[in-house]
Amino acid sequence: MAMLWLILALVPQAGTGTPAAPPPNPSLIRIHVMTDPGDIKEVETSLKDLADAINARKKSLVTVHDEEKADVTVQIIQRAVEVPKVVIGLGPRPGDTPGMTTVKTAKLKVQLRFEAIQVSLQNKNKVYDNPGGWRSAAEDLAGQIDKWVGQYRTEIIQKRR
């Protein structure tokens, strides 16, 4: 009898199982983040960083995997490192040759699309503002995307219906 009870306890009952996922919050704007197929691994890392930064804005934005379910799409266009020709006011960093200062700036460019609207965005922060590099570039862009979405929130939600 004990063995029968154990088997029945392990077998799920008909019609039961895991509960359905709750429907997404209708006030959240759904963002699909993508890159061109075949992009280099570093761009894929920036894609993950940007998706994480967007998901951190839990009160206004959420990422979705399916482009068809998205309200807005964000495509990573370029990831580059810029070295300015002149750097004023910064001394050598640990590991730099004395008398020589090299500052590299992480630049991440994206194309945001909603209906016929296309907007190019680029991170505005600099390495000396926040030494987080690519992750801070993604967080800066997530803030810009959140601000842009805030301006068009009503139109985006109306288009969804």
Task: Give pLDDT tens digits along the chain (161 positions).
Answer: 443 333 333 344 444 444 444 556 888 999 999 988 776 888 888 889 999 999 999 999 999 999 999 999 999 998 877 776 655 555 555 555 555 555 667 788 999 999 999 999 998 876 555 556 788 889 999 999 999 999 999 999 998 86
**Domain-embedded: residue 9:** no
**Domain-embedded: residue 15:** no
**Domain-embedded: residue 51:** yes
Residue 29: closest CA among 161, 159, 157: 157
pTM to 2 decimal places:
0.71
The domain of 81 spans 27-89+102-160
CA–CA gap between residue 29 and residue 22 (Å, rounded) = 16
**Domain-embedded: residue 142:** yes
User: Residues 77, 120: contact at Cβ < 8 Å?
Assistant: yes
- pLDDT, residue 44, reads 85
CA–CA gap between residue 82 and residue 105 (Å, rounded) = 5
- pLDDT, residue 26, reads 80
**Domain-embedded: residue 13:** no
Per DSSP (E only), the strands in the chain are 29-34, 61-63, 72-82, 105-114, 117-122
First to last CA, the chain: 56
Q: How many domains, the chain?
A: 1
Backbone angles phi, psi at 80, to 5 degrees: -145, 160
Q: What CATH number should be reported for the domain holding residue 139?
A: 3.30.160.100
**Domain-embedded: residue 8:** no
**Domain-embedded: residue 40:** yes
